[in-house]
Structure 1
C-alpha cells in the first residue's frame, strides 16, 4: 500500500508569500494615507487616480484570496482534518473584511476626485486613512491566526497531492497576475525567490521581469520614489 506524501513546509511558500504581500501593501497604504491627511503627501489628480486604482486592485486581490479559501481550501481541510479544524472564526473574518474593502475603495475614489489643495484634512482623506489602518490591522491579525492554526493542520493531515490540487484550482479561478506576481516576488527573500522560480518553472522567469517593470511605474506614481518591487 502506497503512503501519501504529506504536504511539506516549503509547499506553503506560495500562500505564505501571498499573505506577506497583502499585509505589506495594506500597511504601506495606511501609512501613505496618514501622510495624505496631514499634507505630508501631496495628491494631485493623477496620483489620486493611480492610488484609487492600486487600492482597488489590492481589494480585489484580498477578496479573491478569501473567496478561494472559502470555496477551495476549506472543503479540503474539512475532508482531511474533520473535527480537528474549526473554520468558523476565519470564515467570519472573511465576511467582515468584504464591507471594509468596499469602504476603502469608495474613500479612495472620493479622494481621487478632490482638488489637490483640498485633500489634506478632508473627511474623505480622513476616512481613507482610518479605514486603511483598520484593514491593515485586521488583515495582519487574521493572517497570523490562519497561519498559526491552519498551517500545522495542513502539514499534518493534507497530502501533498491534495495541496497541489488546491493551488491549481486557485490558479484556475484567475486573478490579477500582473499585479500579484511582482509583489509576491518582492515579499520573498532571495532564497525563497529561488525556490519559487524552481517550483513555478520557466514561465515565471519570463513573466516576472515584465510584470515587475510595468508595475514599478504605477508604484512610483502612487508611493513616490522608493520601490518595494
Structure 2
C-alpha cells in the first residue's frame, strides 16, 4: 500500500482507492499513459507519419477538453458546495487547464507544421507531458479527499451528469480509451457502472475503431 500521505493518488494504481472514485481516477491514468506515448512517438515522427499522429492527438485532446470543461462547470461547483475550503484550489486548477490548453495548442501546431520536424514536437510533447503530470498530482491531492468523503450514491449521480455532458464524439471513444491497458480487477467496479449494452458496444465496435486510431502512436 502507498504511504498514507499519497494514498489518494492514481499514480499508485487504483486498487487502494474507494471504488466510487476509480472511474475519475482511471481518466487520469489514461492521460498520463498518453502523455508518455506522445513523448515516445515524437522523436520518430516524420512528415509521412505526422497526419495519423495528429488525428490521434485530436481525439485525445477532445477527451481532455471535455474532461476539463466538465470539471470547471459541474464538478468544482459541487465540491465548493460540499467543502468551502476547496475555494482557491478550484482557481488554481482552472489556471492549470489554461496552461494545458496552450501546451496542447503547441503539440497540434508542431504536428501540422510543414515538414513536421521532430524537434519542435519533442519540445511540445515534453511540455505537455510534464504539465499533465504536475496538474494531475495537484488535482488529486485536493479533489480526491473531497470526493472520497462524498456518499457513494451522491458522487455516482454527479458522475452520471458529467458523463452525460460529453459530446457524441467523446462518448464513442471514452470507454475504450479509459480501459486501454487497465487492470481488470482494479477497474471491475468502474465497468459495472456502465450499462451492459453500452459496455458491449465499447468492448467491440468502438474498441476496434479506437485501436485503429491508436496504431499511429504505437
Shorter-normalised TM-score: what interval?
A: 0.7 to 0.9
Cα shift readout 1:166-197 (whole Å, capped 9, x = no counterpart): 21221222241333321211242121343222
Aligned CA-pair RMSD: 1.9
CA distance in 1, matches of 2:77, 2:181: 28
SS of equivalent residue, structure 2 residue 166: coil
Q: Which has the larger radius of gyration?
A: 1
Match of 2:214 among 208, 214, 219: 219
CA distance in 1, matches of 2:22, 2:162: 15
Cα shift readout 1:33-59 (whole Å, capped 9, x = no counterpart): 0233xxxxxx353x3211111111112
Contact 1:55 1:108 in 2 (8 A): no
Contact 1:9 1:155 in 2 (8 A): yes
Residue in 2 that maps onto 1:166: 158
CA distance in 2, matches of 1:109, 1:93: 24
Residue in 1 that maps onto 2:14: none
Q: Which moved more, 1:23-32 or 1:77-86?
A: 77-86
Runs of 5+ in structure 2 lacking a partner?
Answer: 1-16
Residue in 2 that maps onto 1:70: 72
CA distance in 2, matches of 1:107, 1:84: 36
TM-score normalised by structure 2 residue count: 0.82
Runs of 5+ in structure 1 lacking a partner?
Answer: 1-7, 37-42, 225-229
Residue in 1 that maps onto 2:18: 9
**Mapping of residues 168-187 of structure 1, within 5 Å:** 168-175=160-167, 176-187=170-181
Contact 1:23 1:140 in 2 (8 A): yes
Distance 1:129 1:142, change over 3 A: same
